[in-house]
Amino acid sequence: MSKYIYEVVETYKLRSEDFEETIHGEIRRELNPSGGERYSWWISHHYRPSQGAYGVYHPSNISGESIDEVRQHMIAYMQGFTAEFEVKAG
């Protein structure tokens, strides 16, 4: 069984009158016993990138070597939320 321990170093919330739920985001620092720092981001909801899309878009670029790098990716993803297309938790 593998274990994943991380520290939440930044939190973000996205609120909009266009959709009911608050979207939560986190920047996480992985705690590696072997040393070295690695960061990742997590988000509470996902969205369809277009009206004709089959499902929601789950970004693949969720980790990086710096907080700035992963923050940039998470903020870019959060800016894609719109009420025009479906927003789903999970």
Phi, psi of 48 (to 5 degrees): -80, 135
**Nearest Cα residue to 23 out of 77, 70, 69:** 77
**pLDDT in the model for residue 71:** 95
Distances (CA, A) of 19 to 38, 39, 72: 33, 29, 23
Query: Model-level pTM?
Result: 0.81
CA dist., res. 2 & res. 55, Å (int): 29
Please say if the pLDDT value at position 8 is more than 90: yes
pLDDT > 70? residue 72: yes
